[in-house]
Structure 1
């Protein structure tokens, strides 16, 4: 059984869908935003590792039901956009959860993992703001987790929808919007 929210106080950085070959529709619209968000993501991952905050990669399996995280990473690093993957790749201490749909929680063991680690606050970065980040923030909110989204560390396909998604997260889900350099980000 999950620990009640009052006893879950730790933070984790969740990196969403950054192990990617960018071989999909809309990739041409997404790539410039990923390039712009990459410095913020790198800053967050570095800060989390320096502050000994758990870094959890939750990534699409791209319909490869036999693949595991090493295969996904190797494929992305062999792809034409390895320069977007290598700087934010998991290290030996990173946790990894494979997902098949938009939300990081939908039919994944993430909720159990967070409860086991005593995590009550997730900092979300990655892609896509108006899709996976939005749905994940909502699912975290309904699980009574505190959520922070550093706006300079999320990438989008459609900037207007991303702006609306961020406003919805802040207004309707009590998501804290911040910058990757903000103090107390993991507090």
Structure 2
């Protein structure tokens, strides 16, 4: 008959073996997940870039008057409101900011970036934002995020008050400024 201590040691050893095996699987899956995220990110960026180029070139083609056009008859195309749940292929995925538009219309990673910047007490650098959106602070992720930050600046969601330092261009609906608690009835 096996003693109680020996039985507990055997069970502990078996549990430790299962934990080590699961940790090894998690490490493998984490590595695989990171490489697949990188592929996904590259494909998404490529698609967004192509959509921008198509939108820019199609907008230029339709907006340029021809020799026979008098000019005043040409009407600028009206932009349709962007719905957060609608994903249209070939459309600009990061819309230009306009009054009443919330960060809900942005793709997830862009929304995360805008929210992190909005929650910060001051302008942030890409290397500060990357870990806060759940990415490893490696050069590739920092540079990819910097590109997204620049796109958000171009589209009016963020400002770059100093080179490489990004802040919110507009208050984000539903969030409070980090300094909003300091305003005690200021008349300014």
Instruction: Judge same fold: TM > 0.5, yes or no.
Output: no
**TM-score, with structure 2 as normaliser:** 0.24
Larger radius of gyration: 2
**TM-score, with structure 1 as normaliser:** 0.24
Higher relative contact order (CA 8 A, sep 6+): 1
Considering fraction of residues, name the structure with more helix.
Answer: 2
Considering fraction of residues, name the structure with more strand.
Answer: 1
